[in-house]
């Protein structure tokens, strides 16, 4: 059986094996998986027809242990999901880099193509040290490699064209029209490499009346709806803290690229992908937009509450500091949440309170509900509240700060926070990749220094000798 890592469609090879369809190796694996599934289902039906009941679902804790994805050690030889996929990353700041970082975390060979001597602005624009890349840059460029290429020179453009001929994916998020003016529009790129997947991240769609407007995260959030729905009623909108205008767009773009790679296995050709940050934000606003669709007047901002639900919000905890809060939610769709909650806080008398007999009455008397809960939470730390309430089977979580998360033992134990070694800064603590795949484990690597991989990349991709790389550097091509 041919592994996915050996299949031409996965390795990015432009030369298919004789008499073999691009996706044949992958389909062998797929058909085997389907056959196993069908046999399992057939056996299950057979047991059922013979009067043997399906095994009872184990307790929640056992389910968690059984369903946990066990990642193999790197030494097992299992190839990462996107091993062999070559990505040219001509992006900056966050919307593009977050996309390519996701591809790198999945095992792709992501090569940042940067301006000589300066690099992308994210390297130095947010740095606290003149001699070191910013933490911001490091966080969004893990597991990548870096080359320099002077796209203002004819030699640099020619060099990039050679690289494009070897790439599977090229992504850019320059200002509208910039990349095309450099001579790299999709028709020319496709002519250079018909299998190339060309992705572009812009603030606004090319056919939009706003197509030529510049955009950053906060602009996309303002015009895409996420800022407008965030905040308290009768108060100005508030920009969400997480940069979902950038990273949220990047994740959708990465999904599109992976889908295009899969489709290429059937078609044998690449395609052009475009995503607008504004459009991505609207997509993330489906829940508030669904509520807006039910009314003709303006949907008010909801603050921390869940519409139509009580309890559902923040509750103060001891000792009463700025960050001493927890979030408690009892779903209207599951009355058991409320019964568990009042039992956990020692207020089972509330079950007989006519103001709190069901979700509708509790919401109508939400102030009384909140007062009863606050009386209990305000005497306990947010961690104790979480342990007791969540432990009782009620959705609850302490509001944790970035400082607390940076040192959270659970996150470190599971690899969601890791210490990596930077060549200049030394030890740097970074968030890891949240996706767990049983057959694809990619160890975290530090973001590259500017141009650190010129000799390696130009040698591997183009066969350039160290002397040729030196000459390109002296000729200000790289």
What are the angstrom distances between the C-alpha of 265 and each of 16, 93, 163, 287, 461?
Answer: 11, 31, 21, 35, 22
* 205 within 8 A of 179, measured Cβ to Cβ: no
Q: What is the rounded (10 degree) CA torsion for 392, 395, 399, 403?
A: 80
Neighbours of 394 (CB within 10 A): 24
Task: Give the integer Cα–Cα distance in Å for 252 and 248.
Answer: 7
- Total number of residues shown for the chain: 478
Query: What contacts 137, CB < 8 A, 6 or more positions away?
Result: 120, 122, 123, 126, 127, 447
246 is catalytic: yes
Q: What is the DSSP letter of 240?
A: -
Secondary structure class of 90 (helix, strand, coil): strand
Query: What contacts 472, CB < 8 A, 6 or more positions away?
Result: 155, 159, 458, 464, 478
Contacts 24+ apart (CB under 8 A), 236-243: 237/301, 243/94, 243/217
How is residue 61 written in tokens? 């804790």
Angle among Cα 268, 274, 276 to the nearest 5 degrees reads 160
Q: What is the DSSP string of 389-416?
A: HHHTT--EEE---HHHHHT-HHHHHTTS
* 430 within 8 A of 418, measured Cβ to Cβ: yes
* 227 within 8 A of 238, measured Cβ to Cβ: yes
How is residue 300 written in tokens? 């008010």
* 429 within 8 A of 419, measured Cβ to Cβ: yes
Residue from 246, 279, 324, 453 carrying the catalytic annotation: 246
Residues with a catalytic annotation lie at 246
């Amino acid at each position: 059986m041919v592994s996915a890592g050996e299949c031409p469609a996965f390795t990015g090879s432009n030369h298919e094996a004789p008499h073999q369809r691009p996706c044949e190796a992958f389909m062998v694996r797929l058909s085997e998986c389907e056959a196993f599934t069908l046999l399992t289902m057939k056996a299950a039906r057979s047991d059922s027809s013979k009067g043997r009941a399906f095994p009872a679902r184990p307790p929640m804790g056992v389910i968690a242990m059984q369903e946990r994805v066990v990642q193999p050690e790197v030494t097992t030889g299992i190839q990462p999901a996107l091993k062999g996929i070559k990505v040219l990353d001509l992006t900056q700041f966050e919307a593009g880099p977050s996309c390519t970082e996701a591809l790198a975390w999945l095992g792709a060979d992501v090569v940042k193509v940067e301006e000589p001597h300066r690099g992308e602005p994210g390297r130095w624009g947010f740095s606290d040290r003149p001699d070191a890349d910013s933490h911001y840059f490091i966080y969004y460029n893990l597991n990548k490699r870096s080359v320099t290429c002077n796209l203002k020179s004819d030699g640099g453009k020619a060099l990039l064209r050679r690289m494009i001929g070897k790439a599977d994916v090229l992504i850019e998020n320059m200002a509208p029209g910039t990349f095309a003016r450099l001579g790299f529009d999709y028709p020319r790129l496709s002519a250079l490499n018909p299998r190339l997947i060309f992705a572009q991240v812009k603030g606004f769609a090319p056919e939009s009346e706003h197509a030529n407007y510049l955009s950053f995260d906060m602009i996309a959030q303002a015009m895409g709806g996420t800022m407008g729905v965030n905040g308290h009623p009768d108060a100005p909108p508030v920009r969400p803290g997480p940069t979902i205008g950038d990273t949220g767009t990047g994740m959708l773009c990465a999904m599109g690229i992976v889908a295009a790679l899969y489709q290429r296995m059937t078609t044998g050709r690449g395609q052009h992908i475009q995503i607008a940050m504004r459009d991505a934000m609207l997509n993330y606003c489906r829940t508030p937009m669904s509520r807006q669709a039910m009314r003709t007047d303006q949907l008010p901002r909801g603050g921390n509450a869940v519409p139509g639900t009580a309890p559902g919000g923040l509750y103060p905890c001891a000792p009463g500091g700025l960050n001493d809060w927890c979030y408690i939610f009892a779903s209207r769709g599951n009355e058991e949440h409320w019964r568990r909650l009042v039992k956990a806080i020692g207020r089972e008398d509330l079950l007989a309170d006519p103001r709190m007999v069901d979700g509708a009455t509790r919401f109508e008397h939400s102030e009384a509900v909140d007062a009863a809960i606050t009386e209990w939470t305000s005497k306990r730390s947010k961690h104790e509240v979480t342990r007791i309430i969540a432990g009782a089977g009620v959705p609850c979580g302490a509001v944790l700060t970035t400082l607390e998360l940076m040192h959270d033992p659970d996150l470190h134990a599971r690899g969601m926070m890791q210490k990596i070694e930077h060549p200049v800064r030394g030890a740097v603590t970074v968030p890891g990749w949240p996706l767990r795949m049983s057959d694809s484990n990619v160890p975290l690597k530090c973001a590259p220094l500017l141009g650190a991989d010129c000799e390696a990349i130009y040698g591997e991709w183009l066969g350039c000798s160290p002397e040729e790389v030196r000459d390109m550097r002296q000729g200000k091509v790289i």
